Amino acid sequence: MKTIGYLGRIDKLFGVPATTRNWNTIVAIVRILKAQGTQGPRS
């Protein structure tokens, strides 16, 4: 059930329905966000 909540958050974050996306796209977004998180805060 947490997955549905997470998809709802992604919908709000990007302003488009995440449920229409391919899981490969979701995985790619997660990788990008994780990579940005390891680089520290942006100025």
Which token pair is 23?
């899981």
CB contact at 8 A, 26 and 10: yes
CA-CA distance, 3 to 35, in Å (whole number)?
A: 21
In this predicted structure, what is the pLDDT of residue 14?
83
pTM of the model: 0.43
CB contact at 8 A, 11 and 18: yes
In this predicted structure, what is the pLDDT of residue 13?
86
Question: What confidence tens digit (pLDDT) does each residue in 1-43 have?
Answer: 687 788 788 888 888 776 666 788 878 888 988 998 776 665 5
